[in-house]
Chain A
Amino acid sequence: MKRRFAFLLAAALIATAPGATAATPDDQLVVGMSMNNITTLDPAAMAGRESTGIATNVYDTLVRLDPIEKTKVHPGLAESWEISDDGSSITFHLREGAKFASGNPVTADDVLWSYKRNVELGLVGAGVWLSFGFTPENFDQYVRAEGNAITITLPEEGDPRLLLYMFGKPDAAAVIDSELAMEHASDGDKGQGWLTTNTAGSGPFKLTNFTANDVIVLERNENYWDDPASMTRVIFRHMPESQTKRLMLERGDIDVGLGLSVPDINALSSNSDVEVQPVPGAGFYYLGVSMKDERFANPKVREALRYLIDYDGINATIMPNYGVERQRPVALGVLGALEDPGYALDVEKAKALLAEAGYPDGFEVELLALNEAPFLDAATAIQGTLAQAGIRANIVTGNGNQVYGPMRERNFEMIVGRGGGGQEPHPHSNLRAMVVNPDNSDDAGLSGVIVWRTSFYDEELNAMAAEALTIRDTEKQADAYEAIQQRLEEVVPALLIFSQVVDTVVFRSDVEDYQNHYGWTTRLEEVHKDR
């Protein structure tokens, strides 16, 4: 029996042995990625790049942000828009004749319902709305529709372009089929339960299968208002192990691999069958300190730390495909982004600064780092250079909860971390995470704001950032952002940046028009295969 089974198995293997052609069909895209962080596909509740990447292709937004030219904005569900002369409001003109995947028409009511739902649920997607001053109470006053014109007025003075960018982000501004969602609502949850694993969008694809940590299937939405998607299906498959993704890419059993580890990316770089696409992404890698700690409240000590990071060495050996060298908290390529100040490892200078601060022999410190690449490697490198000036760092590693948890509670000394906004192509997107601290009291509970966690607070920088948002003249606005970056170097921040995040995607060479988006919103409708 056993022998017969073995024989049959061998026969089957021979019969199905792959030929020279790649294994995936011409009209379907297969993506390998880890789904461990996909807990919901409800745009208002989702957090993280994987769910955003899927929602982007199922839900429409009023506008779309260009993946390359950062300040370019393309029409989405809105055909056109204008910003009022005084910069206090934007009016969008909704496209005629757009339909949801269900066949229901896309109306201004759907748009308003989706936004209000988001603000009222108060989950992750509401964050950006709240930062502009929108609340469930004032929503109806500031967001209005007349026919097909939707007018959004800023509750507080700010930059209307920053507001415009928000309408390209599905977590903040996905337009949901309100009729379909309310059919599935229960206990006044506005469809939240149902939308966790089902979708109600008008984008180029619709969700047909969601099996957590296994497979997600998107099919072409035949009701899509624009040119239909090139692919009939996009299949996302859960592959937590980077090595597995690499092997399947080499064999051509998946077309696209997301989130591969750098050793695997390096191994694939020399393979002519695949393409490696690194794109500067959102956020930074930083060495952060808590200014609740009297040692780090001293600017001399923070400045000493600035000269104890081997920027060139870390970026050359540890960070390739994870990050590119960057020392300022403003993403490369946005308005007013300055060149790096050019800090480098300088142990003598650091020692002198430490002596001035009263720590000629250095001190002991606890350094938190995630127990994965590149955090642990970067922390180890920093530990080595700190030691040269007598600072003895004990590295404590753990998972995200164990590392960022204490930081959120403002209960840490030193950390190597990643974050800092940047999903909108605007310097303020970074500054509101890394520089602007609206309230430095412990009770403020701004644990979502990285700079608040470090207790760094500079009244003048807050004022400068608020001021910069109100400048309408682009050139003057750029100057204002340059001034902010320069002041930040003088006061020495608590977040010492050494790298800007890079997202690297690997795909088969016959995949065309795949363009990874820095804001996690990679669009797949034009992706096709050249076979």
Chain B
Amino acid sequence: MQTRLWNGLTFLGSIAVTLLGLLLLTFVIGRVMPIDPVLAIIGDEASQQAYDRVYQQLGLDQPIYIQFLRYMSEILHGDFGTALLTGKPVIEDIARVFPATVELATLSILIGVGLGVPLGVLAAVRRGKLTDHVVRFLSLIFYSTPVFWLGLIGLIVFYAKLGWSGGTGRVEIFYTGIVQPITGFLLIDSAITKNWDVFWSAARNIWLPATILGLSSMAYISRMTRSFMLEQLGQEYVLTARIKGLSRSEVIWRHAFLNIRVQLLTIVALAYGGLLEGAVLIETVFSWPGFGSYLTSSLMMGDMNAVMACTLLVGLIFMGLNLLSDLLYRVLDPRTRAA
């Protein structure tokens, strides 16, 4: 019991230290970056008086360690400050932009896993045959084509030419603001409130960016699945199982695939984390009001309050995902359980 408590405390301690380090690093980088938030606010041709005034308002005249300590004490009071770009509390901003990205990332990862895993298994089983080459070629294409370009081409074909996609943004302009956020996920919120026209508009807008992101994570997931599977299929237990008379599909799915679950989970979790950070390029092309574009525009402005809070969130996400895959390892792999 004692040790368990102690383990829990050290675990929490290590998280706190990691986050503190992350904040410190971000803060220092933010201050040495050649970006002047004051100029971003007042424009290039403003007078020196205006410059000095805003410089003081932002507290930039204080030594950097004082700035950092002040920032830390505010955070501990739950105050993450106000964003320069929006004039609103950073927390409010993140609560607004993050769900948009989670929604997009979740759909994308579902597409990525739904296509990537079966294709990867298929390619491994048919190693060296035509199917394998086709799958590898496809994943190479989607892995190496920039999503930015795919996004623009997708818009030209499916939106401008065919009219199958609703264009940019989360929802058509006239449906903006009709549905009040409940969960922040527009598809879910509009379904709950039975605003079906909003739901369809949101669906029309999300499928294209989600598919493009999904295809690029499919490329990664299928390649990894294929190589994990090949490793398993070359092992003796597979041969043994076949000799014992198990069917081919049983061997593949019940034996080999079960053994790569754990590795696969780690890969998927990391891919998902990457998507949650915000696929900045896709968010830019599709004018998607998400976390990625928020973080980027804050960074471009040198808006440290927003950047720090975003960094903290990204740090927490990756820690959470790591923790999750650790736990799943223990659940799924008996060898890792402490005796």
User: A residues engaging B (CB < 8 A)?
Assistant: 2, 9, 12-13, 15-18, 23-25, 28, 30, 36, 39-40, 45, 47-48, 121-124, 126-127, 130, 193, 196-197, 209, 211-215, 217, 235, 237-241, 243-244, 247-248, 250-251, 253-254, 398-402, 404-405, 408, 419, 421, 433, 445-450
How far is the CB of B49 from the nearest CB of chain A, in Å? 5
Q: Which residues of B (278-330) have their CB < 8 Å from a CB of A?
A: 284-287, 289, 293-294, 297, 300-302
**CB closest chain-B residue, reference A127:** B47
Q: Evaluate whether A447 and B285 lie within 8 angstroms (CB atoms) in the complex, with A251-B167, A402-B34 already known.
A: no
Residues of A within 8 A of B203 (CB): 9, 12
Counting CB contacts under 8 A, is B156 at the interface? yes
Counting CB contacts under 8 A, is B51 at the interface? yes
Q: Which residues of B (132-191) have their CB < 8 Å from a CB of A?
A: 152, 155-156, 159-160, 163-164, 167-169, 172-174, 176-177
Residues of A within 8 A of B270 (CB): none
Q: Evaluate whether A243 and B88 lie within 8 angstroms (CB atoms) in the complex, with A9-B207, A123-B50, A251-B159 already known.
A: no
Measured in the bound complex, the distance between the Cα atoms of B317 and A24 in whole Å is 40
Q: Tell whether, in the assembled complex, residue A212 and residue B45 are in contact, meaning their CB atoms are under 8 Å apart.
A: no
Nearest 3 pairs of A and B residues by beta carbon: A47-B43, A212-B86, A196-B87
Residues of B within 8 A of A36 (CB): 297, 300
How far is the CB of B114 from the nearest CB of chain A, in Å? 7
Q: Known A-B contacts: A126-B49, A244-B168, A253-B172. Give 13 more (CB < 8 A).
A: A30-B173, A36-B300, A39-B87, A123-B50, A126-B47, A127-B50, A197-B88, A211-B96, A211-B289, A213-B86, A213-B289, A240-B293, A445-B48
Counting CB contacts under 8 A, is B84 at the interface? yes
Measured in the bound complex, the distance between the Cα atoms of B285 and A447 in whole Å is 36
Q: Tell whether, in the assembled complex, residue B50 and residue A124 are in contact, meaning their CB atoms are under 8 Å apart.
A: yes
Counting CB contacts under 8 A, is B46 at the interface? yes
Residues of B within 8 A of A40 (CB): 41, 87
Counting CB contacts under 8 A, is B61 at the interface? no
Counting CB contacts under 8 A, is B36 at the interface? yes
Residues of A within 8 A of B160 (CB): 247, 250-251
Q: Tell whether, in the assembled complex, residue B177 and residue A209 are in contact, meaning their CB atoms are under 8 Å apart.
A: yes
Q: How many residue pairs, one in A and one in B, have C-beta atoms under 8 Å apart? A: 162
User: B residues engaging A (CB < 8 A)?
Assistant: 34-36, 39-51, 53-54, 83-88, 93, 96, 114, 152, 155-156, 159-160, 163-164, 167-169, 172-174, 176-177, 200-201, 203-204, 207, 284-287, 289, 293-294, 297, 300-302
**CB closest chain-A residue, reference B201:** A16
Q: Tell whether, in the assembled complex, residue B164 and residue A447 are in contact, meaning their CB atoms are under 8 Å apart.
A: no
Residues of B within 8 A of A248 (CB): 167-168
**CB closest chain-B residue, reference A41:** B87
Measured in the bound complex, the distance between the Cα atoms of B162 and A251 in whole Å is 11
Q: Tell whether, in the assembled complex, residue A124 and residue B46 are in contact, meaning their CB atoms are under 8 Å apart.
A: yes
Q: Tell whether, in the assembled complex, residue A16 and residue B47 are in contact, meaning their CB atoms are under 8 Å apart.
A: no
Residues of A within 8 A of B45 (CB): 127, 419, 421, 433, 448-450
Q: Tell whether, in the assembled complex, residue B300 and residue A399 are in contact, meaning their CB atoms are under 8 Å apart.
A: yes
Residues of B within 8 A of A421 (CB): 45
Q: Tell whether, in the assembled complex, residue A244 and residue B173 are in contact, meaning their CB atoms are under 8 Å apart.
A: no
The 8 Å CB contact of A244, one of B49, B286, B301, is B286
Residues of A within 8 A of B293 (CB): 213, 240
Q: Tell whether, in the assembled complex, residue A16 and residue B50 are in contact, meaning their CB atoms are under 8 Å apart.
A: no
**CB closest chain-A residue, reference B197:** A16
The 8 Å CB contact of B41, one of A39, A126, A449, is A39
Residues of B within 8 A of A9 (CB): 203, 207
9 CB-based A-B contacts, threshold 8 Å: A36-B297, A47-B41, A122-B50, A193-B87, A238-B287, A238-B289, A244-B285, A445-B48, A447-B47
Measured in the bound complex, the distance between the Cα atoms of B51 and A447 in whole Å is 9
How far is the CB of B198 from the nearest CB of chain A, in Å? 12
Q: Tell whether, in the assembled complex, residue A124 and residue B42 are in contact, meaning their CB atoms are under 8 Å apart.
A: yes
Measured in the bound complex, the distance between the Cα atoms of B177 and A193 in whole Å is 24
Q: Evaluate whether A241 and B284 lie within 8 angstroms (CB atoms) in the complex, with A12-B200, A36-B300, A122-B53 already known.
A: yes
Residues of B within 8 A of A405 (CB): 34, 36, 39
Residues of A within 8 A of B88 (CB): 197, 212
Measured in the bound complex, the distance between the Cα atoms of B119 and A241 in whole Å is 34
How far is the CB of A366 from the nearest CB of chain B, in Å? 15
Residues of A within 8 A of B287 (CB): 237-241, 244
Residues of B within 8 A of A215 (CB): 173, 176-177
How far is the CB of A116 from the nearest CB of chain B, in Å? 16
**CB closest chain-A residue, reference B159:** A247
Measured in the bound complex, the distance between the Cα atoms of B164 and A251 in whole Å is 12
How far is the CB of A379 from the nearest CB of chain B, in Å? 17
Q: Tell whether, in the assembled complex, residue B34 and residue A16 are in contact, meaning their CB atoms are under 8 Å apart.
A: no
Residues of B within 8 A of A402 (CB): 34
How far is the CB of B89 from the nearest CB of chain A, in Å? 11
Measured in the bound complex, the distance between the Cα atoms of B49 and A390 in whole Å is 41
Residues of A within 8 A of B204 (CB): 12-13, 16
How far is the CB of A323 from the nearest CB of chain B, in Å? 17
The 8 Å CB contact of A243, one of B83, B85, B164, B285, is B285
The 8 Å CB contact of B163, one of A17, A25, A47, A127, is A17
Residues of B within 8 A of A39 (CB): 40-41, 84-85, 87, 301
Q: Tell whether, in the assembled complex, residue A18 and residue B152 are in contact, meaning their CB atoms are under 8 Å apart.
A: no
How far is the CB of A214 from the nearest CB of chain B, in Å? 4
How far is the CB of A250 from the nearest CB of chain B, in Å? 6
Q: Evaluate whether A448 and B47 lie within 8 angstroms (CB atoms) in the complex, with A17-B163, A39-B85 already known.
A: yes
Measured in the bound complex, the distance between the Cα atoms of B34 and A30 in whole Å is 36
The 8 Å CB contact of A400, one of B39, B48, B51, B114, is B39
Q: Tell whether, in the assembled complex, residue B48 and residue A212 are in contact, meaning their CB atoms are under 8 Å apart.
A: no
Q: Tell whether, in the assembled complex, residue A127 and residue B46 are in contact, meaning their CB atoms are under 8 Å apart.
A: yes
Residues of B within 8 A of A254 (CB): 173
**CB closest chain-A residue, reference B53:** A122
Q: Tell whether, in the assembled complex, residue B43 and residue A124 are in contact, meaning their CB atoms are under 8 Å apart.
A: yes
Residues of B within 8 A of A244 (CB): 155, 168, 285-287
Measured in the bound complex, the distance between the Cα atoms of B286 and A296 in whole Å is 47
Residues of A within 8 A of B46 (CB): 47, 123-124, 127, 448
Measured in the bound complex, the distance between the Cα atoms of B331 and A190 in whole Å is 59
Q: Tell whether, in the assembled complex, residue A212 and residue B167 are in contact, meaning their CB atoms are under 8 Å apart.
A: no
**CB closest chain-A residue, reference B41:** A39
Q: Tell whether, in the assembled complex, residue B47 and residue A446 are in contact, meaning their CB atoms are under 8 Å apart.
A: yes
Measured in the bound complex, the distance between the Cα atoms of B286 and A213 in whole Å is 13
Measured in the bound complex, the distance between the Cα atoms of B293 and A449 in whole Å is 33
**CB closest chain-A residue, reference B155:** A247
How far is the CB of A40 from the nearest CB of chain B, in Å? 6
Q: Tell whether, in the assembled complex, residue B86 and residue A235 are in contact, meaning their CB atoms are under 8 Å apart.
A: no
Q: Evaluate whether A448 and B48 lie within 8 angstroms (CB atoms) in the complex, with A123-B53, A212-B88, A243-B285 already known.
A: yes
Q: Tell whether, in the assembled complex, residue B297 and residue A213 are in contact, meaning their CB atoms are under 8 Å apart.
A: yes
Q: Tell whether, in the assembled complex, residue B36 and residue A401 are in contact, meaning their CB atoms are under 8 Å apart.
A: yes
**CB closest chain-B residue, reference A121:** B53
